[in-house]
Amino acid sequence: MDYQEVIRYLVDEVPMFQKVGGSAYKEGLDNTYALDEHFGHPHQSYKTIHVAGTNGKGSCSHTLAAILQMAGYRVGLYTSPHLVDFRERIKVNGRMIDKDYVTDFVSSNINLFKTLTPSFFELTTALAFSYFKDMSVDVAVIEVGMGGRLDCTNIITPDLAIITNISLDHVQFLGNTLEKIAAEKAGIIKKGVPVVIGEANEHTHPVFEAKSKETGTEIVFAEDVPMVTSAERASGRYTYHCQDYGEIFGGLAGDYQVKNTNTVLWALRMLQNKGYDLPSTAVKDGFKDVCSITGFYGRWQTLRQDPLVVCDAGHNVGGIAWVTEQLSSVKHDKLYFVIGMVGDKDIDGVLGLLPKDAHYIFTKASIKRALDEHQLHQMAAAKGLHGETARDVPSAYERALSLAKSGDMVFIGGSCFVVADLLSHINNMGH
């Protein structure tokens, strides 16, 4: 098999939640343990940091990886989903996994995979853990795929666990209340492993508190004792004043990064307590240059200045609430909002948060889970949102650009898959 054949196998033959949704979800860790046994428990060869949560785990994971790298560690980073290239999921010191490694790993073990029939995420996790071992990383930042308790990343025993926040997402698998979802996420809390909770509320705080007592684990609720003492915004990005490092410039834009930053700062303090050497210069450089260090994009990413064009991968009620708050704080004349969603989200909840004075272009991403643009249009109209439809993301984006004038704003989002299609289109068009 060559690389393209391997990618076709992964995308077309292995059940992939990103494409088909629930039919790719496999409850239980039997396959994960079998794969881990087969490959010699590679995750035991390096330190790990485990990051779960509904929103913000990508930003926190990439920022931590950037800081660790600037501090001189050789850092693995495992995240999902990918936006443009499968290899975005698995990086060492900001560089995507080699195509040859992916090809050799899959083709050499194809008989095992056909026997076990692992899901896409189970196979990809085994690939990532093995790659990090073979690349001799010092520490790997591991982002949970979904939930926590039964997620196949949960075989690791990390130095630190982080749970960013909880909102209603993947309710068909994790439960339909905040308490149930929190209990699933809390499944990454293990005896002897300190945990940082980025955000909690009256529903989730008791769940985490009970789990920490059950496991005898040190727990910090980051927002109860803020490390960020003040934050000043300019051009969507923040300068933070914090307890441990003084003034820090954040390279990630968006109002929601204030909470993510507070979570990361608490994580850094906990890691230092575990013996990690994290000089102030590494922390500041990691925050400032996280995108260039790790190749992170799609989070309140500015694509053009006038008209202002921004995309963001927020895709559930919590993420969209942050997006709409950010939109209201950006000065613009007319707002053109390109939106597509997948059918298994709380679509009514998201639509109810969106500004009613925008012109919407309803579209769909190029995956089977994408909601039909005409159905989305009808659902939005019932919420007082009006506009037009476009058959795919590239045509929706080009339509928005044709309508927008100087001083206007174009926003593209609603799904990480919409952002993925957008960035692929821009890369192909070279604009």
**Which stretches of 135-249 are DSSP H helices?**
171-174, 178-185, 205-215
- Full 3-state SS string of 183-198: HHHHHHCCCCCCEEEC
pLDDT, one tens digit per residue, over 64-99 is: 999 999 999 999 999 998 888 999 999 999 999 999
Please tell me whether residues 290 and 321 are part of one structural domain. Answer: no
pLDDT, one tens digit per residue, over 108-147 is: 999 999 999 999 999 999 999 999 999 999 999 999 988 7
| Cβ density class 33-62: b for 16+ within 10 Å, e for less | ebbbeebeebbeebbbbbbbbbbbbbbbbb
Please tell me whether residues 160 and 255 are part of one structural domain. Answer: yes
Please tell me whether residues 249 and 149 are part of one structural domain. Answer: yes
Cα end-to-end span (Å), the chain = 34
Please tell me whether residues 202 and 311 are part of one structural domain. Answer: no
Please tell me whether residues 74 and 139 are part of one structural domain. Answer: yes
CATH number at residue 329: 3.90.190.20
Domain's final residue, options 254, 277, 294: 294
Residue 78 DSSP symbol: E
CA 91 to chain centroid: 14
Please tell me whether residues 110 and 237 are part of one structural domain. Answer: yes
pLDDT, one tens digit per residue, over 354-399 is: 999 999 999 999 988 899 999 999 999 999 999 999 999 999 999 9
Distance in angstroms (rounded) separating the CA atoms of residues 371 and 131: 35
SS3 141: strand
Please tell me whether residues 173 and 321 are part of one structural domain. Answer: no
Q: Please say if the pLDDT value at position 105 is more than 50.
A: yes
Q: Apex CA 321: angle with CA 347 and CA 173, to 5°?
A: 50
pLDDT, one tens digit per residue, over 31-73 is: 999 999 999 999 999 999 999 998 889 999 999 999 999 999 9
Please tell me whether residues 268 and 338 are part of one structural domain. Answer: no
Write out the two tokens for 231. 């934050």
CATH number at residue 38: 3.40.1190.10
* 25 or 366: which leads in pLDDT: 366
Gyration radius (Cα) of the chain, Å: 21
Q: What length is written for the chain? A: 431
Please tell me whether residues 200 and 126 are part of one structural domain. Answer: yes
Please tell me whether residues 82 and 200 are part of one structural domain. Answer: yes
Distance in angstroms (rounded) separating the CA atoms of residues 124 and 144: 12
Distance in angstroms (rounded) separating the CA atoms of residues 77 and 94: 8
Type of residue at 8 = R
- Give every CB contact of residue 113 below 8 A, 6+ residues apart in sequence: 14, 106, 123
Domain that holds residue 47: 3-294
Contact 420, 311 (CB under 8 A): no
pLDDT, one tens digit per residue, over 170-221 is: 445 555 688 888 999 999 999 999 999 999 989 899 999 999 999 999 999 9
Q: Please say if the pLDDT value at position 161 is more than 70.
A: yes
Contact 87, 97 (CB under 8 A): yes
Count how many domains the chain has. 2
